[in-house]
Amino acid sequence: MRRSLCAVLLLAAGAAAQTKGTANLTGNADNGKRLFLKNACYQCHGLAGQGGLAGARLAQTKLAQAAFVAYVRNPAPGGMPPYRAKVMSDQELADVWAFIKTLPEPPAVASVPIP
C-alpha cells in the first residue's frame, strides 16, 4: 500500500513538473464543492474526501494545486481515469482543489471510539 502511495505521489510530482509554468489559479471553494458533487468526484473519494475502496483520500492532501491538476489530467495507470479540460477546466479543478483544502482535520484517533 505504502509503495503504491509513494508511486502516486511520485507520478503526481512528475506530472506537476510537466505542467511547469501553469500559474496558480485562485480557487473558489464553494464552486469547487458544487463541482465535486456535480462531477461525481465523491463517488470514489467520498463526500468528505475520506477516500474508499475505489478512490484515494483527498482530505488533508499534501498535493499543491499544480500537482493536483496535473494528476487529475494524467493519473497513475490502473486507477483513476484522466479528466480532460473538456470535462473540467483548469479553473474548475482549481476550485475543486480549494474545496478539498477546506475539508476539516480529523479528530485525534485517541479522542474517538475507534477500536
Partner 1 sequence: MPQSSKRPVGRRGFLKGATAGAAAIVAQTSVAMAQQAGTTVAAAAASTAPPAIEVSSNSRPGSDFMVDVIKSLGIEYCAANPGSSFRGLHESIITYGGNVNPELLTCTHEESSAAMAHGYAKIEGKPMMIMAHGTVGLQHASMAIYNCYADRVPMIVVLGNILDINYRRGSAEWYHSVQDAAAMVRDYIKWDDTPISLGHFAESLVRGYNIAMTPPLEPVVIVADGELQEQPIKEKSPRIPKLVASAPPQGDSGAVAEAAKLLLSAENPVIVTARLARTPKGIDLLVELAELLQARVHDQRMRMNFPSAHPLYARPNYDPLAPNISDADVVLALEAQELWSLTHRMTPLNRFGMETQSTLKPGAKVISISAIELNHKSNYQDFGRYVEVDLKITGDAEATLPALIEQVKHQMTADRRRAIQERGAKTAAANRQLHEHIREAAAVAWDASPISTARLTAEVWAQVKNEDWSLVSNDRYPSYWPTRLWNFSKHYQYIGAQGAAGIGYGAPAAVGAALANRKHGRLTINIQPDGDLNYAPGVLWTAAHHQIPLLTIMHNNRAYHQERMYVQMMGNRLDRGIDRSDIGTALKDPNIDYAMMAKTYGMYGEGPITDPKDLAPAIRGGIERVKKGEPALIDVVTQPR
Q: How far is the CB of 115 from partner 1 (least distance, A)?
A: 5
Considering only residues 28 through 87, tell me which ones interact with partner 1, judged by CB under 8 A. Answer: 38-40, 42-44, 46-54, 57, 59-60, 78-84, 86-87
Q: How far is the CB of 23 from partner 1 (least distance, A)?
A: 25
Q: Are 69 and 19 in contact (CB under 8 A)?
A: yes
Residue 31: alpha-carbon gap to chain centroid:
15
- Letters for 96-115 (x = contact with partner 1 by CB under 8 A, - = none) are --------x-xxxx--xxxx
| Cell 494545486 belongs to residue | 65
